[in-house]
Chains A and B, each alone.
Chain A
Amino acid sequence: MLRRTGYAVVVFLVVAFATNVFAQGTSAKVDYPKKPINTLIGFAPGGGSDVMISMVRPHLEKALKTTFVPVYKPGSGSDIALMELSTSKPDGYTVVISCTPQVPINAYVREAGYKISDFAFVANVVTDPGIFVVRAESPYKTIADVIKAAKEKPGTLSVGVSSAPGDDWFAMHMFEGAAQIKLNIVPFSGDGPSWQAALAGHVDATSNNLSIVYAQLRAGKLRALAIMTDQRSPIIPDVPTFKEMGYNFASGSSRGFSMPKNTPKAIIDIFAGAVKQVMNTEEFKAIALKTAFPSDYQGPEEYTAYIKKLDTIYRPLWDKYGKSPDAAAK
């Protein structure tokens, strides 16, 4: 019996510590990677970060000839994982799945334990566009219907969002500003509960992300009224953008890879190059289109600039609506 328990302990220790054992070792300059890469994931298994890493991981492992070890550090809107990255060795063997809007806004709205300048943004993988959705039975057929209803009874049309301050939450405040309306924005505990509430009619609409509601759109259970991109999405080309209707805003939730600051540029370039190469293969593109995985590769410079830009958009919105939600509700 003890032997059996012994085996169990050994198996267990291997699983538990496999994630950390590889963290030690020497750093390479150009010969990268030489060992497994720890991937910090700031959300519980099953979230969008998980889907992202699962989609690219098998391909990326082949391209880089190494393995990715997922290390879950869920909690506090990914702050815990980001904090861990900020104190990790800048040797390219610790990466984080960095998600917007948590990066950059968390560090602004609260005591986060790290600064945005602690990171080197390596490559963006996906930008899941924001999308305005109602259920199939809803009387609202177009955005014009929604705006009309919101103007008739300001503050009563309820729109579910994933959380505050989440990308959907920012998006709806941008929409309010652009259309000069007042909505009843209801933060849920995630994308899922938000669209499910809209599907069941608990709220009038949901501001959500394309890949999350795609299956329901295709089955005709939910109806998309407008998408928050610059151009129409190839995944659902029939849905108009807010911009083409004259409401000048775009929004989405991006996920990519980041490393600690001072990571050698050679390593960042090797990693970003592999991500780019993987995302350009026909096999990957085919799966991405089928599962509504909105690929959006951005290299190191572009990705860094993107994060900076988001920071300047989000800060004033948070100051206006977020700092004191009670005051904003009036």
Chain B
Amino acid sequence: MDLFSGLIHGFSVALTPMNLLFGFLGAVIGTIIGILPGLGPLGTMALLLSLTYGFDPTAGMILFAGIYFGAMYGGSTTSILLNIPGEAASVVTCIEGYQMARRGRAGAALAVAAIGSFVAGTISLIGLSFLAPTLANAALKFGPPEYLAVALVGLMIMSRLTGGNLLKSLMMIALGLALGTVGMETVAGYMRYTFKQPLLAQGIDFLPVAMGLFGISEVLVTAEEPAGNMQLQKVRFRELWPTLVEWKRSFWPIIRGSFIGFFVGLVPGPSPVIATMVSYSVENKLDKSGEFGKGAIEGVAGPEAANNAAVGGAYVPLMALGIPFTPAMAVVMAVLLIHGITPGPLLMSENPDLFWGVIASMYIGNFMLLVFNLPLVGVFASIIRAPLYLLMPIVLLLCLVGVYSVNNSILDIWLMTGFGLLGYLLRRLRYDLAPLVLALILGPMMERSFREAMMISRGDLSVFVSRPISGTILLVGAIVLVAPLLIAWIKPLISRKA
């Protein structure tokens, strides 16, 4: 079956009332769990997993695709409105999104995030339909040395992410990396910094740290403000939507973010997170408005497009090769397994109904998400009109329940509280928090890939430069790092001659 007849066949499978209902349900559930901090798409899908035994496998896959896409979008809502990243992939959205909300542009930020997510989702699905088999094989070429190269370049981008004081950024990165070493080390299972506490053996999870540093510290900072400032600016309905200028400014960031997200999404590991970072720093570099850090719409549009596109990218290795690169994809795979279908390289030829049905349903789910979310922009944006003395306690409660619900762990609640206090102090001292959180996510991946690469090469460091992909990535990274310094050095020389 070639591509077009495949897709048309797919739509004929997916466009049954029952499947449409599941697509819609998935989008709704996904959006809700994305908005609520804590319980993410992974936990939700796992809870619903055995329910899908009662459905047709296509319906189950459609439901889960809706949840996954929905969560990626929903996660940005709390980031923008309350500075609480519900998902790792929305940490970057906090930086500009929350500043926009404080300036009364919450509606614009939410609308751009919704449209950006839709456009990016569509672009990545087109990529998935056309390029899946080719790209999946390319993704496999990424071995441990390549992961290390990606993570290293990611760290470099991070150090200049928010453009503040370099020394302070580096200190935050170092702290994040150090926190990432807590727990059971993955190669030989040794315990590090666990103080014989079995609960610490699993390491410090990203979520309590991010929710503490961003969410709890936000509550504390707000509580400190004088009562007169407690009410944020009133937003009139007309101002809920982005202005023409804001649309124009968002257009290219969305397109760039989509492509960045799709290609980065192919790489295993925390790819949506890296995609948002790359997109943010690209937009920051290209920015001429000078608004970055104070609520630049480009800084919402790009990363939001990137994290949704990365979801499409993540489906490529699953659909084409049966490789679940992320735990969420593994749950999606389990839907097929309980129906007696083995996802793998033969899925497309053995179960064309399912394969094309799912791809078609993802287009539908993506569209439903837009239909469901755009009308809600106004509703959500009005949340911040609620008096803060009501809103902030609710936020606190949601954070507490949310963080507990992920691992059912009391330790996570304490971690979140502790990092909330730390976050408050750091913000008062004008440190950027995003690099800390992102380093915590990348650190363990870096260590693991470095050690795996070293074991494979038997201690030969040259693997990192002699392999074409990792060599190229590192070279590009080095150029990006050195070029500004070089330009700064050459420019005066040239102007002196002239």
Contact = CB atoms under 8 A, between A and B. Distances in A.
Interface of A: 1-2, 4-5, 8-9, 11-13, 15-16, 19-20, 44-47, 50-51, 53-55, 57-58, 61, 68, 70-77, 79-80, 83, 109-113, 155-156, 158, 163-165, 184, 186-189, 192-193, 196-197, 199-200, 202-203, 214-216, 218-219, 221, 286-287, 290-293, 322, 325
Contact of B144 (A68, A192, A197, A325): A197
Contact of A186 (B196, B345, B346, B452): B452
A45 B294 CA distance: 38
B369 interface: no
A9 B398 contact: yes
Contact of A218 (B184, B325, B342): B342
Interface in B319-345: 321-325, 327-331, 333-334, 337-345
Nearest to A5: B394
A109 B191 CA distance: 11
5 contacts: A8-B36, A16-B404, A70-B46, A71-B408, A72-B46
Contacts of B338: 51, 54-55, 58, 287
B135 to A, nearest CB: 14
B39 to A, nearest CB: 7
Dominant SS at the B interface?
Answer: helix
Interface stretch (B161-169, B198-206, B430-438): B198-206
B50 interface: yes
B104 to A, nearest CB: 17
Contacts of B386: 1-2
B188 interface: yes
Given A77-B184, A189-B448, 7 more contacts: A51-B338, A54-B334, A57-B50, A58-B53, A75-B203, A110-B189, A291-B342
B379 A4 contact: yes
Contact of B324 (A70, A74, A192): A192
B344 A16 contact: no
A193 B404 CA distance: 29
B481 interface: no
Given A11-B32, A111-B196, A163 B186 contact: yes
Nearest to A61: B50
A193 B456 CA distance: 13
Contacts of B45: 45
Interface in B271-326: 321-325
Given A8-B32, A164-B188, A221-B345, A74 B334 contact: no
Dominant SS at the A interface?
Answer: helix
B455 interface: yes
B382 interface: yes
Given A15-B47, A70-B47, A156-B458, A218 B344 contact: yes
Interface residue range, chain B: 35 or more
B184 A76 contact: yes
Contacts, number: 202
B40 to A, nearest CB: 10
Which residue, of A12, A200, A218, A219, has the highest number of chain B Cβ atoms within 10 A?
Answer: A12
B140 A199 contact: yes
B42 interface: yes
A291 B340 contact: yes
Contacts of A113: 198
Contacts of B397: 9
A46 B327 contact: yes
A293 B388 CA distance: 54
Contacts of A73: 407-409
Nearest to A4: B379
B479 interface: no
Contacts of A163: 186-187, 189
Given A215-B343, A292-B342, A46 B188 contact: no
B46 A50 contact: yes
Interface string B68-83: 0000000000000000
A202 B268 CA distance: 15
B140 A196 contact: yes
A73 to B, nearest CB: 6
A186 B448 CA distance: 11
The 7 closest A-B pairs by CB, nearest first: A75-B202, A215-B344, A46-B330, A45-B46, A202-B143, A76-B201, A219-B345
